[in-house]
Amino acid sequence: MIHQVTKGIKISVEVKFEGTFTRKSFQQHAFTYYISIENQGKDTIQLVSRHWKILESTNRPHYLKGNGVVGVKPILKSGEIYSYKSGCLINSTVGSMSGKYTMINFTNAQKFSVEVPNFKLSVPYILN
């Protein structure tokens, strides 16, 4: 598991390889990632959007933006943790993801960014 703290918000990520399958004559590799967001600050915050950068060894970077995470915009009081799981498909056997969350601080109504640490997406047998 990897961790990163930005502006009092701790992001922890764990990745699991789910398998390889063929779709339309192309191999795709499935990964599940588990993310925990911990508010280590004193103010209540809300995650309002996400921005992902997905890198594959065989393609250009792919960018994704959206509101919230997995359909929700979690609100975290001081000391609270919100965890979720999501997934990613890539065509290459090695890749990575990184990104940021846009948060809003309820005390001062200011938006701020929290970095999601870079995490690897690698098919286990490729690293042997």
Domain-located, residue 121: no
Domain-located, residue 80: yes
Where are the extended beta strands (E) located within 1-128? Answer: 2-6, 9-23, 26-39, 45-56, 62-67, 75-76, 81-90, 94-105, 111-122
Domain-located, residue 34: yes
Looking up residue 11, the CATH number of its domain turns out to be: 2.60.40.1470
What domain range includes position 105?
Answer: 2-116
Number of domains making up the chain: 1
pLDDT tens-place string over residues 40-81: 999 999 999 999 999 998 778 999 999 999 999 999 999 999
Sign of the dihedral through C-alpha 40, 112, 34, 81? positive
> What gap in Å lies between CA 109 and CA 70, rounded to an integer?
23
Mean pLDDT lowest among 4-8, 13-17, 57-61, 63-67? 57-61
pTM of the model: 0.92
